[in-house]
Structure 1
Amino acid sequence: MTSLEKPTEDAQHDSRAVTEAALFEAFGGVRGMVETVVPGLLFVTVFTVNKNLHWSAIAALVVSLLLVAVRLVMRDTLKHAFSGVFGVAFGVVFAMMTGNAKDFYLPGMLYTLGLSLAYIVTTLAGVPLIGLILGPVFKENLSWRTRNPGRKKAYAKASWAWGLILLGKCAILFPLYWWADTAQLGWVLVALKIPPFLFAVWLTWVFLAKAPAPIDVFAEMEAEEQAEKARQAAAEGHEAPAGRHRRES
């Protein structure tokens, strides 16, 4: 290995490490996945045992609130836990209103469908959603749109992956909503929680790991501020000798 190759490999390794860390932060990591799966798993488990909508709904809602409480005690970020609570709450309210236990899953299914279409539509519009989500995480904001075409292409590929994977998931779940019973739908939905998600995250990592590094717009702004302060200090330094010269004259 030459001295020129090693820095390049180190830079690529650092870029991949940053990408992994950013994806882990953006999508909640292992704990985020657990918080996503557990309420639905508890709902379908309780319903499979006793066929009681009320007890199933209460169990799912209680465990969601407990997950939030744990994060509060640990002073951790609440974003993923709160999203889980709201999702469970919508499902509980909807199922209670209709009296159909399968409707506990319907809001989440509709959200998945809407999200899949959002990924596809924004990509067609030239503003891929995954770039809007990850841009602030990478401290590049929207610089990838006009200043980093290779990165924009990677975000477009990743958004297509998310959109099509989620659309495929909907193609399985919505027919089951009409044809299967509550327990069957619930177990299939739980089984489809993690694998498609992990596949989409992995594809995102693959695309971004091969893309150009993000442009740190925050660092650029800070550097510009420092340069402006230096220019002002230099200007003040030039003015002071001139003032003294005039007074001496």
Structure 2
Amino acid sequence: MSFAPVRPDAPTAPVAGPGAPGPEPAAAPEVPEAPETAAEEGGERAPTLLEQMGGVAGVITSAVPVVVFVLVQAVFKNLVASLVAAVVSALAVAVWRLVRGEKVQPALSGLFGVAVCAFIAWRTGEAKGFFLLGIWTSLIYGGVFLLSVLVRRPLVGVLWHLVNGDGQGWRRSPALLRAYDLATLAWVVVFGARFVVQRWLYDSAYAETWLGWVRLAMGVPLALLAAAVTVWAIRRATDAAKAEQAEAAGATAV
């Protein structure tokens, strides 16, 4: 019987034995990560979408020019005075935020919006023209949010992860996708209700009397309600995604 020579550098098969290592485990399947940012992993909390907008104070102060316009118009019945008061109040909010060292971008955006609304009202010669831009903006926003759900790219999720720099891997998690669908649809309801109600009032005989007050009632309160639904949905989905990830990791380790 002849034996083939063994090369010194030839690879040899591992010998099974009590102390020999077993076969390497298979790679774990990729699991969608929960929406945690790199900043959070490093110990720093990333700013939320609400904080990017200036926080609750920023949302509330954005309504100041509308409140001023409605009050001045109700008391003095003078369109020019109401428009000047609204623009001056929007400028005052921007300066106040700048002096306090807060984010001034939301206030500047609000100032630009108020200036456009004032121009439309001045051109139409009617106080209700001040609300025309907001009415049609609600329709556009509602349509965009609804379309994002239909194409399986719920806008709340896209914006949330875009702001926090998480990427778009969250779409692989059914729990997160359902949560962002729900949160986005909450905003669709808000924008849709604003358009339907205020557009009807704009063409009605009650426009000069009630349109401004309805705009205030459907402004910050409904926005905060939709924001609360968004936070609730995201938290529940985050917990569900973490549970899915832990379950998949445990199944792989067995």
Paired position in structure 1 for 2:198: 173
Paired position in structure 1 for 2:37: none
SS in 1 for 2:111: helix
Unaligned runs of 5+ residues in structure 1 are: 1-13, 216-249
CA–CA separation in structure 2 for the residues paired with 1:19 and 1:185 = 41
Among 176, 201, 220, the alignment partner of 1:194 is 220
Contact 2:72 2:82 in 1 (8 A): yes
Q: Deviations over 1:121-165 (max 9, x none)?
A: 1111111111222113333132223x4332222111111111122
Mapping of residues 46-61 of structure 1, within 5 Å: 46-61=72-87
CA–CA separation in structure 2 for the residues paired with 1:54 and 1:19 = 46
CA–CA separation in structure 1 for the residues paired with 2:46 and 2:138 = 24
Mapping of residues 60-99 of structure 1, within 5 Å: 60-99=86-125
CA–CA separation in structure 1 for the residues paired with 2:178 and 2:88 = 43
CA–CA separation in structure 2 for the residues paired with 1:185 and 1:24 = 27
Bigger RCO of structures 1 and 2 (CA < 8 A, at least 6 apart): 2
Paired position in structure 1 for 2:50: 24
Q: 1:155 is matched by which residue type in structure 2? A: Y
Contact 1:26 1:134 in 2 (8 A): no
Paired position in structure 2 for 1:245: none
SS in 2 for 1:108: helix
CA–CA separation in structure 1 for the residues paired with 2:226 and 2:121 = 30
SS in 2 for 1:212: helix
CA–CA separation in structure 2 for the residues paired with 1:113 and 1:41 = 22
Q: Deviations over 1:94-124 (max 9, x none)?
A: 1111111101011011111111111101111
Correspondence 1:33 to 2:39: no
TM-score by length of 2: 0.71
Q: Deviations over 1:190-243 (max 9, x none)?
A: 12112211110111111111113699xxxxxxxxxxxxxxxxxxxxxxxxxxxx
Among 164, 168, 182, the alignment partner of 1:157 is 182
Alignment length, in residue pairs? 199
Contact 2:68 2:85 in 1 (8 A): yes
Paired position in structure 2 for 1:139: 165
Paired position in structure 1 for 2:237: 211
CA–CA separation in structure 2 for the residues paired with 1:211 and 1:19 = 19
* Larger-Rg structure: 2
Q: 1:153 is matched by which residue type in structure 2? A: R
CA–CA separation in structure 2 for the residues paired with 1:204 and 1:132 = 13
SS in 1 for 2:237: coil
Moved more, 22-31 or 180-189: 22-31
Distance 1:27 1:73, change over 3 A: closer
Contact 2:46 2:164 in 1 (8 A): no
Correspondence 1:125 to 2:151: yes
Q: Which has the higher helix share?
A: 1
Percent pairwise identity? 33
TM-score by length of 1: 0.73
Q: 2:62 is matched by which residue type in structure 1? A: T
